[in-house]
């Protein structure tokens, strides 16, 4: 299956099918930035947070598309961590998102769930 077809599966919300199809790519294609971005997009839906952290770390120094994908993942991770009650880790994930893609700060600021991140308790 081509990477374009796998992306189509993700676009349709067929996360498990996309994940398994990514696994089926040859190793060279599976490690391309485009495949890693797609894997990173699937990670939150597949509850693969540790793998997502590793992939985001690989992409965060790359070109615009890579850094944007990493920032979106860090944002999703911060939301997960807030739900889990882990404010320090959520703050670290927000920082990672903004450091990775500074233009992404507005998305973070507009997220009502993250309004407590980085604020002193009253």
pLDDT in tens, 46-96: 999 999 999 999 999 999 999 999 999 999 999 999 999 999 999 999 999
Res. 122: pLDDT tops 50: no
User: Is 122 part of any domain?
Assistant: no
Residue 122: strand, helix, or coil: coil
Angstrom CA distances, 36 to 3, 13, 48, 66, 103, stand at: 11, 17, 13, 9, 21
Angstrom CA distances, 48 to 2, 56, 58, 91, 117, stand at: 23, 12, 16, 20, 23
Q: How confident is the model at residue 118 (pLDDT cuts 50, 70, 90)?
A: low
How many domains does the structure of the chain reveal?
1
User: Is 70 part of any domain?
Assistant: yes
pLDDT (average), residues 91-112? 93
Reported pTM: 0.90
pLDDT of residue 120: 47
User: Is 119 part of any domain?
Assistant: no
| Residue 48, domain extent | 3-114
N-to-C CA span, the chain: 54
Q: How confident is the model at residue 119 (pLDDT cuts 50, 70, 90)?
A: low
User: Is 121 part of any domain?
Assistant: no
User: Is 86 part of any domain?
Assistant: yes
């Amino acid at each position: 299956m081509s990477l374009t077809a796998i992306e189509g599966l993700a676009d349709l919300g067929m996360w498990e099918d996309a994940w398994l199809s990514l696994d089926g790519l040859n190793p060279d294609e599976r490690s391309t930035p485009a495949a890693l971005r797609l894997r990173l997009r699937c990670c939150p839906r597949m509850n693969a947070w540790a793998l997502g952290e590793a992939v985001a770390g690989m992409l965060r120094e790359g070109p615009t598309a890579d850094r944007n994908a990493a920032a979106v993942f860090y944002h999703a991770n911060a939301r997960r961590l807030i739900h889990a009650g882990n404010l320090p880790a959520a703050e670290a994930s927000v920082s990672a998102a903004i450091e990775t893609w500074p233009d992404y700060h507005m998305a973070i600021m507009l997220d009502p769930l993250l309004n407590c991140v980085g604020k002193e308790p009253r």
